[in-house]
Amino acid sequence: MLKIDKHIEIVSSTRPVLSSMSSDSREGARRTLARKYRSVGIRIINNRSDLDDLVADSPDLVFLGMKFLPLDPAKGWRDSKKIWISRYLDKADILYTGSSGYSHELEVNKPVAKQAVLDAGLKTAPYYVVKQDRTLSHLTPRLKYPLFVKPTNRGAGVGIDQQSVVSNLEQLRAKTAMITVKWQSDSLVESYLPGREFSVAVMAQEGHENYSAMPIELVAKPDEYGRRILGQAAKAADTEQVLPVTDHILKHKLCRLALSAFSALGARDYGRIDIRLDVAGTPHFLEANLLPSLLEGYGNFPKACKINMNLDYEDMLLRIVELAFARQAYAERTPLAALPLSPAATI
């Protein structure tokens, strides 16, 4: 088969906290894309020099597997001078997969993402933020217990465990203190949603005018209190049960919320929206992941694509790449003023 004459670099990091792609994930993507494209490499970005070398090589496309690069490795997520990879590539006029830096910045700051969703008139659990330097000795909680507590700036279930559901001030103090010490993060405190949990893969259709929403239900093993919490341990072990959504009314509600939240974050091409039901069964936005795990047989995004559209791993990866190239072609033939700012929330 004659390969397409394009040079693609899969960008990732060997520092797990920075990368959405493991070594197996990026190698699997490289092998898959290399069957169709002339040159496909893996570029490890651990410092500014690595990033400069990538730009100097000027690939036709960067397949994003990380969102930002801290200039001070010791600060990591907390580095206020970190470089957003997509913004850096925009300045170099290099095409990349997925959403822009604007959307990545919204997504990784969970309270800001929730507020963007609220401002769009969508449902998410009431919340407030406890700063790292805030003493809880005289705190009067603004929401009724039980509450759910997690770091404001971590993904993959980091900082989420059985103690994330708190029922009194003592438990709230303990959990926020742990997040401060272990994760050096502010704490997002929100009303606990006791219902079922879902993950919705969102992907642009050909032409980018409409998006497909592909929901799956995630059923974690119950803890000693009967609560099903998808925390870091459960996600890493991949032990949750994954089910198709067969209730058509519920599926419609999940898809509408996911597409609307995706639009509210200004996202594009593909991503994942997580949703949980309240006690009445109403879907609420939990969080977004615009660089979801794409490891074959593991991530919820690939599973949702397979279950809903019978889209296998190879076709999924090729679709993500083709969407980026199609977006470039569309931009080149369309006046800037006519370009859409965000995807239409349609199903």
* Per-residue pLDDT reduced to its tens digit, 176-203: 999 999 888 999 999 999 999 999 999 9
Buried b (16+ CB within 10 A) or exposed e, 92-123: eebbbbbbbbebbbbbbbbbbbbebbeeeebb
Asked whether the predicted pLDDT for residue 341 surpasses 50, the reply is no
Q: At 205, list the tokens.
A: 């259709």
Asked whether the predicted pLDDT for residue 340 surpasses 50, the reply is no
User: Is 156 part of any domain?
Assistant: yes
110 and 251 part of one domain: yes
Report the phi/psi class of residue 101: left, alpha or beta, with left for phi > 0 and alpha for psi in -120 to 50: alpha
User: Is 343 part of any domain?
Assistant: no
User: Is 153 part of any domain?
Assistant: yes
113 and 238 part of one domain: yes
182 and 70 part of one domain: no
User: Is 101 part of any domain?
Assistant: no
In this prediction, residue 102 carries a pLDDT of 95
In this prediction, residue 207 carries a pLDDT of 62
- Give the residue from 50, 56, 54 showing the smallest Cα distance to 71: 50
User: Is 18 part of any domain?
Assistant: yes
Asked whether the predicted pLDDT for residue 165 surpasses 50, the reply is yes
* Per-residue pLDDT reduced to its tens digit, 259-270: 999 999 999 999
Higher pLDDT, 342 or 61: 61
251 and 113 part of one domain: yes
137 and 82 part of one domain: no
In this prediction, residue 269 carries a pLDDT of 96
Percent of the chain at pLDDT > 90 equals 69
Asked whether the predicted pLDDT for residue 101 surpasses 60, the reply is yes
What whole-number distance in Å separates Cα of residue 324 and Cα of residue 97?
5
What whole-number distance in Å separates Cα of residue 22 and Cα of residue 25?
5
110 and 77 part of one domain: no
147 and 48 part of one domain: no
Range among 68-72, 78-82, 213-217, 235-239 rated most confident: 213-217
Mean pLDDT computed over 128-150: 80
Residue 302's Cα: distance from chain center in Å? 13
199 and 329 part of one domain: yes
The reply to whether omega before 146 is within 30° of 0 (cis) is yes
Q: How many domains does the chain have?
A: 3
What whole-number distance in Å separates Cα of residue 158 and Cα of residue 177?
15
The domain that contains 215 carries what CATH number?
A: 3.30.470.20
Mean pLDDT computed over 194-221: 91
Burial label for 210, CB within 10 Å (0-12, 13-18, 19+), is middle
User: Is 331 part of any domain?
Assistant: yes
Lowest mean pLDDT among 65-79, 271-285, 314-328: 65-79
24: CB partners within 8 A, 6+ apart: 295
Q: At 38, list the tokens.
A: 């002339």
- Domain span at 177: 127-191
In this prediction, residue 306 carries a pLDDT of 96
In this prediction, residue 140 carries a pLDDT of 60
Lowest mean pLDDT among 12-16, 27-31, 312-316, 336-340: 336-340
Q: Per-residue confidence at 136, pLDDT binned at 50, 70, 90?
A: low
Lowest mean pLDDT among 67-71, 277-281, 295-299, 305-309: 295-299
17 and 153 part of one domain: no
* Per-residue pLDDT reduced to its tens digit, 43-94: 999 999 999 999 999 999 999 999 999 988 777 777 788 999 999 999 999 9
312 and 239 part of one domain: yes
What whole-number distance in Å separates Cα of residue 272 and Cα of residue 287?
9
77 and 53 part of one domain: yes
301 and 206 part of one domain: yes
* pTM, two decimal places: 0.91
